Amino acid sequence: MNKLLALASLLLCLSCKRQADFDQEVTALAKGKDLKVGVALIDLKTGEIKQVNGDDPFPLQSVFKFHIAAKALEQVDKGKWQLRDQISIEPGEIYTDLYSPIRDEIGTNLSSMRLDSLIYYMVSLSDNSACDILLRHLGGPSTVNEYIKEIGIKNTKIEVNELTMQSRWEEQYRNISTPLSVAETLKKFYLREYLSGDMHDFLWALMENSPTGANRIRKGLPEGAVLAHKTGTSGRNVDGISGATNDAGIIILPDGRAYVLVVFVSDSKESDEVNEELIAKIAELIP
C-alpha cells in the first residue's frame, strides 16, 4: 500500500511539474504582448490536462458554430431532419453586410438550401448567414444551450445569433465559454459521446477540411498532422482592441497521438498576425 501511495504521489508531482512548465512556456510566449490568452490542452490517451486561464470566460465568436452544428445533427439522429432536407430561407437572411460565402458564391435570392449545405457553409467556411438560418430553425440560442447541458458541458452560454453578436461590441460577450469547457466539448466529440457515427463523421470532415485559420493551430503542427477545428474571430473596437482570435481543435499527430487544443486570445491590442502567431507557437508546445 505504501508503495502504491508513493507511486501515486510521484505521478502527481510529475503532473504538477508538467503543468507548471506549460504555464511558464505559455507565459513566456505571451510576454510583452498586450492581450489575454486562455489555453486548454488535453492528452486524449492519458486524459492529462494542461491549462492557462482555462476556467476564465472568453467570447466564443464563431467557435459557437460547432455547438450549433452538433445540435442540428442531433435533430437528424432523432429523425426530425434529414441532411437532404430543404431548409427555408426568409428574405434578408442572406446577409449583405456580414461575412457570408453563400452570398458571395450564390447570391442573396435564395428561398431554401439543403441542410447539409448549410452546415457545410457554417462550419467549414464560417458563414454567418447559414449560422443564423440554422439557429432560427432550431428554435434559437436557448435550444442550443439546453443541448450543451444535456451532453454534460458546463460554463458555456450562447444567447444571441451572429447578426446580434456583430451589431455592437458588447454583444459578443453574451456568447461565452472557457477554454476548458470547449476542450471538454471536443473531447466528448472525439470519444463519440454524442452524435451517431454517421453524423460524427460528417461533422469531423467539415472541421478537418476547413480552410480557416491557416496561421493558427495548423501552422504550429508538424507535417502530416490532422486537425479538425473551428475558429472564431472578432472585429476591433474604436480603441483598436480585438475581442477574439480563437482556434479550437482536435489534433492527431503522425505517430497517432491525439490531443484537444483550445487557444483563445482576447482583449488584444496586438496585430492579427501577432495574435495568430501566438496560437501557432502554443500549438508547437504539444509534446
Which residues are catalytically annotated?
Answer: 62
Instruction: Take residue 158 and report the three cell numbers written for it.
Output: 450562447
Number of helices (H) and strands (E), helices first, in the chain?
A: 10, 10
Bridge-based pairing state of the strands 258-266 and 175-177 = unpaired
Instruction: Take residue 61 and report the three cell numbers written for it.
Output: 465568436
Q: Sign of torsion, CA 13 14 17 18?
A: negative
Rounded Cα gap, residues 273 and 37, in angstroms: 15
Enumerate long-range contacts of 137-141, CB under 8 Å, 24 or more apart. 137/87, 137/88, 138/68, 138/71, 138/72, 138/75, 141/175
